[in-house]
Amino acid sequence: MAKVRTMADARREQRRAYWTLVLPGFLLYISVMAFPTIFSVVLSLTNYNGGKLFGGRVPIELVGLKWYQRLIVDEYFYLALKNNLWIVMVSVFGQIPLGFFLAYVLYRGLVKGRDFFQTMIYLPTVISTVVIGILWKSFFAPHGAFPELMRFFMPGYEYSLSQHPMIPVLFVILWMYSGMYMIIFIANLQKIDNTIIEAARIDGASEMQVLRYVILPALSGVIVVTAILAISGSLKSFDLIFIMTAGGPANRTSVLSIYMFDKAFKGAPNYPLANAISTVMVIISFFLIGLTKFAENKFGGRE
Amino acid sequence: MNDIKDHSSARSRISTTITYLVMIFFTVMALYPLFWLILSSFKTTTEFQMNKLGFPRRWVTINYKDAWVRGKFPVLIANSLFYTTVTTLAILLLSFMAGFGFSKIRHKATAVLHGSFVIGILLTLQSIMVPLFLIVNWVGLYNTRLGVLIPYIGIGMPMGVYLGTEYIRSIPDALVESARIDGASYSHIFWRIIVPMAAPVGMTVAILTVTGTWNEFMLINILTSSDALKSLPVGVQKFAGALSTDYGKQFAALTIGLIPMLLFYLIFRKEITKGVAAGAVKG
Amino acid sequence: MVRLVCTKYELMNRRLHPVGMMGKKGEGKTLNKMVLTDHLEVEMTGLRKVAVLLLALVVLGTSLVAQGVKADAEDGKITLNVLNYIDMSEPNSANEVKMIWDRFEQENPDIKIVREDLFNEPFHYKTEAYIASGQLPDVVYMWPSGRSTSLHTTGSVKDLMPLLERDGLVKDYNPAALAPQFAGFLGELPNGITTTHMLFVNKKVLRDNGLPITTDFNEMKKMVPVLKAKGIELIAMDNMDDWVMQSCLFSMVVGRYGGVDWYDRLEAGQLKFTDPWFVKSLELIDDMYKSGMINRNTLGSPYGASRSSFATGKAAFLIDGDWATGSFMTDVTTGDALINAKAQADDFELMVITNLPGEVVHNSNSGVVGTGWGMSADIPAGSAREEAAWRLIKFLQGEYVQTYRLTTGASFPSNLKVDVAKIAREENLEPFITKRADYYNNYVPITPVIDGVLHSDVFNVINKGLQEIGLGSKAPSVVAAEVQRAWEAFLKN
């Protein structure tokens, strides 16, 4: 059926389609996220001090960057930031290589029962952080199963993890998410054109050489994507640590999101300061992701 | 030639064994904690104190009965199912729609709109909790199921739109264009072409949304006050309190909290692993 | 089997053809031709179909049942919103609903209660959210200070004293329980007086190791090597949560060195945190860690975790608050107890640490008014709603409820009408309850608890500082200086 349509008609239809497609989701998203976020940024510039936000006893005034200045000199802010960076490190240099290693082993068929291993190693990722947090919290407590387990292998073991409380947390993070990266890498490894690998083999390349010169370059794009995922996830991470240690003894396991939560909800709430922290967090995320993209462009991914 | 072959086969046997051991090690690492959890839930608290690692000397099921009743789990599980399913379907639909619009229709507004979604990925829940509470109250949706669904959907949109747009972008424009030339409406194109083709990324988004929504435990407390509306993680958390010494019930509650997701995963694992893989593959 | 073939495609040689859904190959318009590689097959086997169907049914079912739960105002009935604090893993918590809340509704058919149960972190941040939005429920569970400080300072709750006076109930309560709270008025009607330091003594462990039954500080220190050789801790404590050390030990110590009125003198400017009374208190804690009286690994122990180890003899003493006695007692629903009645009588005691080196006051204990119930300030004075809410609060702190809480060890009554001795005899209460009554009598005077009198800007620094001392990363004098700075900053505001 031929419809006589002018260019203008077509364009109008196109525009209508565009807005029909995009607007519902956008409106929903904006109402849920945009207003609260803008609100929180504005609040971070005021002297709000608790009590009703609207129609309260004390009028709220803008005070500029006072809270950001307060933040920069707080030692616990840097402690939290440091922990976040630790998590980023463990994610990028722990989960991703580990995931890759496991993927490679399974992909190259070095062991049988790939399906089984795949399923089992990915399992921790789907379990609720509440469950995992509580589980590991009990496990690593001084009277928990961990010391008993250690004593089984090393009699006379003295529990000393409370001196380095970040270690159990990092361990659990590694445990939980490596499986996800493994799956991603397996899929991408499968995408690599086999003929190239075979050609390299015929030319006499060893396993290691194939890995270095064929496989890794082909995966560089994916590695960057996973790095970005890992970084943004690390900076936001809250649930697990909150359940496990709530910031740990003397803020030793605090991360930015927990630090912010404490300021907002512990004792007399200081919402402006908390919101200043969350604004800073977004800025840092931007920065790190920008850095990753820059690295990608520089050291280039050949797909 | 024979020498070389012998050496390499001996070496490869050793390395195969080592690799097997490594894989088994990781599998054990992944499974043991859960195994330990389930095992411990069958011990009474006092026995657990004496015997943290071994098999229960006396298998008890009272923990489960107690935890199930006290924690009001039936209602919570039903709620979790409801919230998760509706949220996931809604996000899938809206993400595909927006993804299609952003990547296949040229428009000046795309840069701004799409960009604002992407920023959403970086935002944290905690910073918006209190203002969200205010809004939900203001529109009268506090303590209603709809009042939980809308925030859940809104929060899951950024990731869905980001992944959806990326993926749909790689569907050849030619397909869409020729469909248009043939007189197909956008609706037809959307349902007949885009949706089937974007199924892999749909899987990824679905999985992320399901795991995220199912395990969400903070916002639900802010958005609701009556127990009849709460979700599973809330029930689990009740047993992990400041004064909790009753490990038996706590572990039973944890296991109960664990099982639905576990079942979901085991049944749909092929789709899940393929979906995560396919969706994250560039192009 | 239904085959759902979804395709991912690859552009090769500019030839494309699509494969439609539902496995019918070549269907649909052949717009362009596309060569397919890689397809994703979702095989809907019987099991999966069932699973999906079941899921759909549940979703439909739950969505049909109730869109939301709103508090309806039925004719003649007043609906009260209540924010309750309840820990499901505590023994006896399930019983509480029946014994207290159901009973109230029975006795007061014209009031309907809509209760929200939360505890720990969710409770606190929900409270803050309520305050910020001006939506506080009618009756709320709260502290006299500490985490509920903002309820007091923002005037979100009413002063209950006028209502008490109006109904002539002032004489019914322990005067100490009616003292003005953090913002200077009676924001909540307390359950009782709480002492925050209790030294649980496992006499059996001491006897079995030939040690004297004493709580003298220096004597306790001497026990450390003997017990360590057997793999037993001297003092069990859960210091991962930052308030525990401050509340359950340090406040008592500060009272011993600073005297009963240290807070008054501090406020009047006569004392500084850098003076000896405070520094010596910090040094004592430091000493306890260094000498092994308290193991540094307690900083990795989440609150509540070491109770069972203590009960099973892995430590000779436990430091916790008086509220912890309830957790050792019998759970009526299961009949289980961490420490059974006989053991309570024979093998355990409830005491305090005595004879701190150089202490100024002897046998004092740190105490604060307990938690209780407050009323939202938004309720108009003299309204029917206020009457209903007040009736609820009176009930919750009345003889019946307080007696119940006494028998479960939940709290020690502030209502003088509750005759503790009589009930202990008649109801055959567990030994811990009588021991607790004796404990309150033995250890006077009562000195202030730090997070009960200081603002969170100051006590948060103290809490963290104590943990730093525990980790060995800050010296007492450094912490004292930090606290003084925080105090001065607070005074300026």
Q: What is the pLDDT of residues B214-229, one digit of tens each?
A: 888 888 888 888 888 8
Question: In this predicted structure, what is the pLDDT of residue C263?
Answer: 92
Residue in B closest to A285 by C-alpha: B122
Question: In this predicted structure, what is the pLDDT of residue C63?
Answer: 54
Q: What is the pLDDT of residues C247-283, one digit of tens each?
A: 999 999 999 999 998 999 999 999 999 999 999 999 9
Q: Mean per-residue pLDDT for C461-469?
A: 93
Question: What is the value of ipTM here, to two decimals?
Answer: 0.76
Question: In this predicted structure, what is the pLDDT of residue A225?
Answer: 72
Domain count, chain A: 1
B99 lies in a domain? yes
Tell whether B71 lies on the interface with C, counting CB pairs under 8 A.
yes
Tell whether A82 lies on the interface with B, counting CB pairs under 8 A.
no
B183 lies in a domain? yes
Tell whether C354 lies on the interface with A, counting CB pairs under 8 A.
no
> Which chain A residues are within 8 Å of B23, Cβ to Cβ?
102, 105-106, 111, 117
B64 falls in which pLDDT band (50, 70, 90)? confident
The secondary structure of C106-135 as a DSSP string is: HH-TTEEEEEEEE-HHHHHHHHHHHHHHT-
C215 falls in which pLDDT band (50, 70, 90)? very high
The tokens for C43 are: 């095989």
% pLDDT > 90, chain C: 34
A209 lies in a domain? yes
Least-confidence region, from B161-175, B192-206, B230-244: B230-244
Contact assessment for residue C192 and residue C326, using Cβ atoms and an 8 Å cutoff:
no
Tell whether B78 lies on the interface with C, counting CB pairs under 8 A.
yes
Is omega for the bond preceding C445 within 30 degrees of 0, making it cis?
yes
Q: What is the pLDDT of residues B97-121, one digit of tens each?
A: 998 888 888 888 888 888 888 778 7
Whether B84 and B205 share a structural domain? yes
Number of Cβ within 10 Å of residue C48's Cβ equals 15
B247 lies in a domain? no
Whether B103 and B208 share a structural domain? yes
Q: Which CATH number do you get for residue B171?
A: 1.10.3720.10
Mean pLDDT (chain C, rounded): 80
Higher pLDDT, C278 or C415: C278
- Give the range of the structural domain holding residue A219, as residue numbers without chain letter: 68-299
Whether B50 and B152 share a structural domain? no
Question: In this predicted structure, what is the pLDDT of residue C254?
Answer: 94
- Give the range of the structural domain holding residue B49, as residue numbers without chain letter: 3-59
Higher pLDDT, C410 or C489: C489
Of C154, C300, C314, the CB nearest to A51: C154
Higher pLDDT, C330 or A93: A93
Q: C-contacting residues of B 32-51, CB under 8 Å? A: 44-46, 48-50
CB contact under 8 A, C63 and B82: yes
Tell whether B222 lies on the interface with C, counting CB pairs under 8 A.
yes
% pLDDT > 70, chain A: 90
Whether B90 and B222 share a structural domain? yes
Of B59, B85, B107, the domain-final residue: B59
* Block residue for tokens 């604004």: A279
The SS3 assignment for A134 reads helix
Whether B47 and B128 share a structural domain? no
Which of C9-18, C181-190, C210-219, C400-409 is modeled with the greatest confidence? C210-219
Q: Is the pLDDT of residue C246 over 50?
A: yes
CB contact under 8 A, C62 and B146: no
Question: In this predicted structure, what is the pLDDT of residue C58?
Answer: 59
Q: Mean per-residue pLDDT for A121-125?
A: 82
Whether B28 and B152 share a structural domain? no
> Which chain C residues are within 8 Å of B82, Cβ to Cβ?
58-59, 62-63
Question: In this predicted structure, what is the pLDDT of residue A303?
Answer: 34
Tell whether B102 lies on the interface with C, counting CB pairs under 8 A.
no
Residue in B closest to A207 by C-alpha: B12
Q: What are phi and psi of B161, to 5 degrees?
A: -70, -40
Q: C-contacting residues of B 114-133, CB under 8 Å? A: 129-130, 133
Higher pLDDT, A280 or C281: C281
Bridging pattern class, strands C365-369 and C372-375: unpaired
Of B59, B86, B107, the domain-final residue: B59
C390 falls in which pLDDT band (50, 70, 90)? very high
B109 lies in a domain? yes
Whether B149 and B44 share a structural domain? no
Q: Is the pLDDT of residue C11 over 50?
A: no
Question: In this predicted structure, what is the pLDDT of residue C285?
Answer: 95
CB contact under 8 A, C240 and A250: no
CB contact under 8 A, C129 and B178: no
Question: In this predicted structure, what is the pLDDT of residue A55?
Answer: 60
Bridging pattern class, strands C139-142 and C111-118: unpaired
A60 lies in a domain? no
**Could you tell me which residues are beta bridge partners of residue C12?**
C15
Q: Mean per-residue pLDDT for C39-49?
A: 43
Question: In this predicted structure, what is the pLDDT of residue C340?
Answer: 83
Number of B/C CB contacts below 8 angstroms equals 178
Closest CA of chain B from C471, distance in Å: 22
Question: In this predicted structure, what is the pLDDT of residue A279?
Answer: 84
CB contact under 8 A, B257 and A128: yes
Q: Is the pLDDT of residue C200 over 70?
A: yes
Closest CA of chain A from B65, distance in Å: 19
CB contact under 8 A, B217 and A145: no
Q: Is the pLDDT of residue C1 over 90?
A: no
Residue in B closest to C302 by C-alpha: B242
CA distance B80 to B229: 9
CB contact under 8 A, C300 and A266: no
Question: In this predicted structure, what is the pLDDT of residue C50?
Answer: 58
Question: In this predicted structure, what is the pLDDT of residue A252?
Answer: 85
Question: In this predicted structure, what is the pLDDT of residue A40?
Answer: 81
Whether B224 and B112 share a structural domain? yes
CB contact under 8 A, C8 and B278: yes
A193 lies in a domain? yes
A236 lies in a domain? yes
Question: Whole-prediction pTM value?
Answer: 0.76
Question: In this predicted structure, what is the pLDDT of residue C75?
Answer: 58
CB contact under 8 A, C129 and B133: yes
> Which chain B residues are within 8 Å of C114, Cβ to Cβ?
225-226
> Which chain B residues are within 8 Å of A118, Cβ to Cβ?
273
CB contact under 8 A, B200 and C67: no
Question: In this predicted structure, what is the pLDDT of residue C291?
Answer: 94
Distances (CA, A) of A216 to A212, A291, B19, C233, C262: 6, 21, 20, 53, 68
Whether B196 and B116 share a structural domain? yes
Q: Mean per-residue pLDDT for C469-488?
A: 93
B234 lies in a domain? yes
> Which chain B residues are within 8 Å of C55, Cβ to Cβ?
81, 85
Of C128, C132, C300, the CB nearest to A142: C300
Q: Which residues, including other chains, have CB under 8 Å from residue C406's CB and lie 6 or more apart? A: C412, C413, C418, C420, C423, C429, C433
* Block residue for tokens 């019946």: C400
Q: Which residues, including other chains, have CB under 8 Å from residue A234's CB and lie 6 or more apart? A: A84, A87, A88, A91
Question: In this predicted structure, what is the pLDDT of residue A290?
Answer: 77
Closest CA of chain C from A50, distance in Å: 7
Bridging pattern class, strands C233-236 and C315-320: parallel
A48 lies in a domain? no
Q: Is the pLDDT of residue C2 over 50?
A: no
B279 lies in a domain? no
CA distance C485 to C491: 10
Q: Is the pLDDT of residue A219 over 90?
A: no
Domain count, chain B: 2
Tell whether B228 lies on the interface with C, counting CB pairs under 8 A.
yes
Whether B184 and B148 share a structural domain? yes
Question: In this predicted structure, what is the pLDDT of residue C197?
Answer: 93
Q: Which CATH number do you get for residue A107?
A: 1.10.3720.10
Q: Which residues, including other chains, have CB under 8 Å from residue A59's CB and lie 6 or more apart? A: none
Q: What are phi and psi of C12, to 5 degrees?
A: -135, 125
Residue in B closest to C243 by C-alpha: B242
Higher pLDDT, C31 or A65: A65
% pLDDT > 70, chain C: 82
Q: Tell me how far apart the terminal alpha carbons of chain B are, to the nearest angstrom.
A: 44
> Which chain C residues are within 8 Å of B218, Cβ to Cβ?
122
Question: In this predicted structure, what is the pLDDT of residue B10?
Answer: 66
CB contact under 8 A, C459 and A267: yes
Least-confidence region, from B84-93, B121-130, C436-445, C448-457: B121-130
Question: In this predicted structure, what is the pLDDT of residue C375?
Answer: 93
CB contact under 8 A, B133 and C66: no
Q: Is the pLDDT of residue C485 over 70?
A: yes
The closest of C90, C138, C88 to C327, measured between CA atoms, is C90
Question: In this predicted structure, what is the pLDDT of residue C91?
Answer: 61
CB contact under 8 A, B217 and A130: yes
Residue in C closest to B281 by C-alpha: C8
Q: C-contacting residues of A 175-204, CB under 8 Å? A: none
A13 lies in a domain? no
Whether B35 and B120 share a structural domain? no
B254 lies in a domain? no
Number of A/B CB contacts below 8 angstroms equals 251
Tell whether A275 lies on the interface with C, counting CB pairs under 8 A.
no
Tell whether A265 lies on the interface with C, counting CB pairs under 8 A.
yes
B277 falls in which pLDDT band (50, 70, 90)? low
Closest CA of chain A from B122, distance in Å: 6
A26 lies in a domain? no
Question: In this predicted structure, what is the pLDDT of residue C20?
Answer: 32
A252 lies in a domain? yes
b or e along A164-189 (b: 16 or more beta carbons within 10 Å of the residue's beta carbon)?
Answer: ebbebbbebbbbbbbbbbbbbbbbbb
Tell whether C147 lies on the interface with A, counting CB pairs under 8 A.
yes
> Which chain A residues are within 8 Å of B283, Cβ to Cβ?
303
Question: In this predicted structure, what is the pLDDT of residue C272?
Answer: 93
Q: What is the pLDDT of residues A135-163, one digit of tens each?
A: 888 788 887 778 777 877 887 777 777 77
CB contact under 8 A, A266 and C147: yes
Tell whether A51 lies on the interface with C, counting CB pairs under 8 A.
yes
> Which chain A residues are within 8 Å of B282, Cβ to Cβ?
221-222, 225, 303
Radius of gyration of chain C (CA): 30
Q: B-contacting residues of C 150-179, CB under 8 Å? A: none
Tell whether C129 lies on the interface with B, counting CB pairs under 8 A.
yes
CB contact under 8 A, B179 and C311: no
Instruction: Identify the chains in contact with A, defined as 3+ C-beta pairs within 8 A.
Output: B, C
Q: What is the pLDDT of residues B33-46, one digit of tens each?
A: 788 888 888 887 76
CB contact under 8 A, C59 and B81: yes
Q: How many degrees, rounded to 5, is the angle at CA C393 between CA C388 and CA C399?
A: 125
Q: Mean per-residue pLDDT for B153-171?
A: 85
Q: Is the pLDDT of residue C23 over 50?
A: no
Question: In this predicted structure, what is the pLDDT of residue C70?
Answer: 40
Q: Mean per-residue pLDDT for B152-157?
A: 90
